[in-house]
Amino acid sequence: MSKRNVMYVVPALAATLCLALVTHGGAPAPQAKDVMQGELAYLKAEFAKPKLLKKAERKARMSAVILAAAAKAAGKDGEGMVGEALKIAKLMEAGKADEAKAIVADLASGKGTPTKTPGSYKDAIEFELVMRVFSSEKVGGFGMEKALEDLVDHKGAVSGEQAKAALNLATKIALVSDITLHFGPEKEEGAKTKKAWKAFSEDMTKAANELAASAAKNGEVSKLADNLGKTCTACHDVFR
């Protein structure tokens, strides 16, 4: 399998998936907090625009769900933000951008109201949109697939801004794997089992966190990025 085909969107799969509340490792709290702050800044900047186009609205929903996963992994620093972030995604889906914008403003200023019942990823987003984060920005994604491919091609260690970018990317992928874990097969068929889905998701988390750890130490990333891509391909070979 080519390293250039490490990830892709699987729209047809979305219809067969359901949410199960489960516990997952996610990303280390310090890195998750950085992603949390980054997603908040992104949403704040998007909502500062006069009008969001449809593609931008979808990206805002994706960002809000990543924000929820990051807040969950950040522990105390993200307390109360998980439910609010999921609410942003749901409001965007319902066409209530002004209400979503108000929540973003509150969270960015530290005035967010904790939500006792966070809700679910399934209620906030479709699985196809979760996977679309890896797609090119031209088609409404965040270009994470291309960024991972670039790390596979990178020779030697990373440093400076490149190391920060690699750390951020790996952390986001670990958080996405936390989200995907909640979308297991509703009906098991052959190799498409809940156990397999959980194992693939956990492999993705482990590989993403190994890449993040190396990037954080200005280490080499090519092999680890390739390993991460292979965990995605292995899952796609079964669930597609």
Residue 8 lies in a domain: no
Only one residue has tokens 């190799």, namely 191
- Long-range contacts of range 158-165, CB-CB < 8 Å, 24 or more positions apart? 158/215, 158/218, 158/219, 158/220, 158/221, 159/218, 163/215, 163/216, 163/218
Q: Which of 100, 102, 79 is nearest to 29 (CA)?
A: 79
pLDDT tens digit sequence for 176-186 = 999 999 999 98
Q: Which helix (H) or strand (E) holds 185?
A: strand 183-185
Give the domain extent around 108.
23-238
Alpha carbons within 13 A on the beta-carbon side of 59: 24
Q: Give the pLDDT of residue 53.
A: 86
Q: Is the pLDDT higher at 136 or at 19?
A: 136
Average pLDDT over residues 146-150: 97
As a whole number of Å, the CA-based R_g of the chain is 17
**The dihedral formed by the CA atoms of 88, 90, 92 and 94, expressed in degrees to the nearest 10:** -140
Q: Which helix (H) or strand (E) holds 149?
A: helix 144-153
Give dist(CA 71, CA 175) in Å, integer: 10
Residue 10 lies in a domain: no
pLDDT tens digit sequence for 24-58 = 457 889 999 999 999 999 999 999 998 888 889 99
Average pLDDT over residues 212-219: 97
Give dist(CA 112, CA 91) in Å, integer: 16
pLDDT at residue 146 tops 50:
yes
Q: Give the pLDDT of residue 42.
A: 97
Q: How many domains does the chain have?
A: 1
Q: Which of 68, 24, 75 is nearest to 201 (CA)?
A: 24
Q: Give the pLDDT of residue 240.
A: 78
pLDDT tens digit sequence for 50-99 = 888 888 999 999 999 999 999 999 988 887 899 999 999 999 999 999 99
pLDDT at residue 162 tops 70:
yes
Residue 62 lies in a domain: yes
Residue 11 lies in a domain: no
Residue 9 tokens, joined: 């969107």
pLDDT at residue 131 tops 60:
yes
Residue 169 lies in a domain: yes
Q: Give the pLDDT of residue 13.
A: 32
Residue 176 lies in a domain: yes
Give dist(CA 33, CA 10) in Å, integer: 29
Q: How confident is the model at residue 130 (pLDDT cuts 50, 70, 90)?
A: very high
The whole-angstrom distance between residue 137's C-alpha and the CA centroid of its chain comes to: 15
Residue 142 lies in a domain: yes
pLDDT at residue 23 tops 90:
no
Residue 18 lies in a domain: no
pLDDT at residue 129 tops 90:
yes
Give dist(CA 83, CA 81) in Å, integer: 6
